[in-house]
Structure 1
Amino acid sequence: MSGSNRRRSDRGRRSSSKRRYGGPKRANLIEQSAKEVEQMDNRATSRFDQRPRPMAFPADMDAPTTHRFEWNLSPVPLDSEERVANLVVKRGEFGWLGDARVEEIRANVEDEAMTLDQALSLRSALLQQKTVYSHHRLKSKGKELARKYKAGTSILKLSKEHDFAPMNLFRVVLEAMGWSKSKIKESLRNPSSMKQRERDEFEAAEAADRVANVDQSETQVKADLFEDILADWFEQQGVRLRRQPEMVKEQSELLGRPVRTPDLLFLDHVFINGQPVAWIDAKHFYGADVDFQRKKMKKQMNRYIDEWGSGAIMFRHGFCENLYMPGVLMLDSGPIDLQRLSPDD
């Protein structure tokens, strides 16, 4: 075999081999980021001595006290997450699941180290990634999809046929039909302004899409309650803190917009499992080792690290053992009493 043919054959074998699920190995990342994390930890432990003081610290703040907590963690093994990931996403399926499909997933995860809630949350992360990463391909098919739509094919049928989220597909079709972005935005906010077919298609697409739908208010209410429960718990342990809403208000008044607003900003030294935690962000979902979700969180957390040093994310539904971000301690709900959240959350 010639050299060029051998190289083509090698490339073919590499491209056909299965890509490893998840991100880089956590152990490797820990080793690579050791010096960086040390600097982040030092920033956290010395933040009260910093002059000028970091953002959001009260001007007349009392001297910080120290609080130490041991957190028993139960991360999900990466191989379990991978197997469940292959079960929870089906082609053309973007909506809320019916009882039969939920029971199918429940039965499939019984022998896995994941709960049904974790599996469903993982599904949401995978669908979000699928929707975002396929958007360029969706846009490139806009004219073709609009042509089929005008010929009478429904948005839901196009969604199943091409494997795109219904609401994103609907937006792309409207844009390809000449609707401006402002008209699309206003029409989706006020569906009664649309003609009957578009109104019917919107309602059907919205009902079948839990990824790109317009109304996310219920999800936000649950997330806000989780944050309140978390803040209440730390205050009950004697830890002084600031909550996100007051920081949002303060920064909006001083800076014109919120800039850095973790859910909890500690005004005392807090150590969890021996690691300094200057702030916590609460996530009302499962911390999956999914590329899009991980990158999105890391970008957000880095803003907090730059200001206050190392912190933590607390996941309502736990997290994957391989999930890693320098300067961020991964936590599950641990000792937090979540009874104020309804059982189906």
Structure 2
Amino acid sequence: MGFPDEFEPPNEVSTQWNTKPVKQRTERQACDLVMIPGEWGFLDDEAVDGIGERLEKHNMSVDQGLSLRKALMQEKAVYGHYKMMNKSNTFLKRYENGESVLQLSRRFDFPPVAIFRAILTARGWSKVKIRDSLRAPDKRLTKRDADEFREAEEKDRVTNVDQGETAVRADLFEVVLGNYLDTLGIKYRRQEELLKEQQKEHGRPLNTPDFLIMDDLKINGKSVAWIDAKNFYGANVSFAKKKTKKQMNRYIDEWGAGAIVYRHGFCEGMKIPGVLMLDETPLDITIMYDE
């Protein structure tokens, strides 16, 4: 799958890709430095500077720290979901007594939007009713509920549905990686091509790595049949690793071993059989900063 009926014979390409992985011990220490109990939103400049200062002696960048924080918050939200839902009646009672969703989030240390959903569940609302109501809060919720929901969204980085800027940055990083592969003379097919092709043949996309390599490529002596670009830090965090492994195993089953390129580096403990971990070290990322 993914290879056209007619294509140029593959060339043998071998390249060395230097990396600077973060030590496992360093990441473990950083976990305690980037998390702020009761805070689930985007941080202000002062808080970001504080994280940067705490990480400085550990040789981790602010970007790595913020990306690690997001991975930890996602894991905390997922693994704490049932514990949170067991408190849904408590949330509802406090909410009806005037406590805000953000106050509940800080008090109990759960994501604001998740708490708001738990409150609606405690009212006896179905999942469908909750979904439809949150899609049109001004029409389907009371004024207080609509206001509380909007405030919760603004302060919730885990459940935030506006991924516009994130998608733009991810696309830019793919351009950066594509430019580097071009300088090496490597032939590839892009995710967009594979998506259209699979949509036509199978009615839906099946496996669409960012780059399907059309040459016999070896990086650091290892065969690489596909490459995925990740515009974040490769944290060795259980939930993030499990999610990534599931996605990569689909590519491995179809094409064999491949590689992930992490924009903000990766932890040395982040290991997935059949996947070579790489970072931005050799890439020209200047366009990522052009506004």
Sort the TM-score into its range (normalised by shorter chain). over 0.9
5+ long unaligned stretches in structure 1: 1-54
> Counterparts of 1:138 and 1:185 in 2: how far apart (Å)?
19
Residue 259 (1) aligns with residue 206 (2):
yes
> Counterparts of 1:305 and 1:312 in 2: how far apart (Å)?
10
Residue 117 (1) aligns with residue 85 (2):
no
Q: Which residue of structure 2 aligns with residue 210 of structure 1?
A: 157
Q: Which residue of structure 1 aligns with residue 98 of structure 2?
A: 152
Spell out the pairing of 1:82-97 with structure 2 (5 A cutoff): 82-97=28-43
Spell out the pairing of 1:48-59 with structure 2 (5 A cutoff): 55-59=1-5
> Counterparts of 1:249 and 1:190 in 2: how far apart (Å)?
32
Q: Which residue of structure 2 aligns with residue 230 of structure 1?
A: 177
Give SS of 2:199's match. helix
Give SS of 2:189's match. strand
Spell out the pairing of 1:1-345 with structure 2 (5 A cutoff): 55-193=1-139, 194-342=141-289
> RMSD in angstroms over aligned alpha carbons?
1.4
Change (3 A) 1:84 1:310: same
The Cα shift of 1:117 comes to 0.8
> Counterparts of 1:343 and 1:79 in 2: how far apart (Å)?
34
State which structure, 1 or 2, has the greater radius of gyration over its C-alpha atoms.
1
Q: Which residue of structure 2 aligns with residue 26 of structure 1?
A: none
CA contact (8 A) 1:77 1:113 kept: no
Count of residues paired in the alignment = 290
AA of the residue aligned to 2:3? F
Give SS of 2:18's match. coil
Deviation by residue 1:286-338 (Cα, 9 ceiling, x = unmatched): 00110110010001000000010000010000001111010000000121111
Change (3 A) 1:71 1:301: same
AA of the residue aligned to 1:115? S
Give SS of 2:201's match. helix
The Cα shift of 1:104 comes to 1.1
TM-score by length of 2: 0.96
The Cα shift of 1:89 comes to 0.6
Q: Which residue of structure 2 aligns with residue 29 of structure 1?
A: none
AA of the residue aligned to 1:112? H
> Counterparts of 1:247 and 1:332 in 2: how far apart (Å)?
24
AA of the residue aligned to 1:316? R
Deviation by residue 1:7-42 (Cα, 9 ceiling, x = unmatched): xxxxxxxxxxxxxxxxxxxxxxxxxxxxxxxxxxxx
CA contact (8 A) 1:91 1:160 kept: yes
> Counterparts of 1:79 and 1:228 in 2: how far apart (Å)?
33
> Counterparts of 1:269 and 1:186 in 2: how far apart (Å)?
49
> Counterparts of 2:28 and 2:41 in 1: how far apart (Å)?
21
> Which deviates further from its counterpart, 282-291 or 193-202?
193-202
> Which deviates further from its counterpart, 169-178 or 239-248?
169-178
Q: Which residue of structure 2 aligns with residue 50 of structure 1?
A: none
TM-score by length of 1: 0.81
> Counterparts of 2:70 and 2:290 in 1: how far apart (Å)?
19
The Cα shift of 1:72 comes to 1.0
AA of the residue aligned to 1:249? K
Deviation by residue 1:161-197 (Cα, 9 ceiling, x = unmatched): 1110011111121122132222322332223222211
> Counterparts of 1:186 and 1:245 in 2: how far apart (Å)?
31
> Counterparts of 1:63 and 1:318 in 2: how far apart (Å)?
33
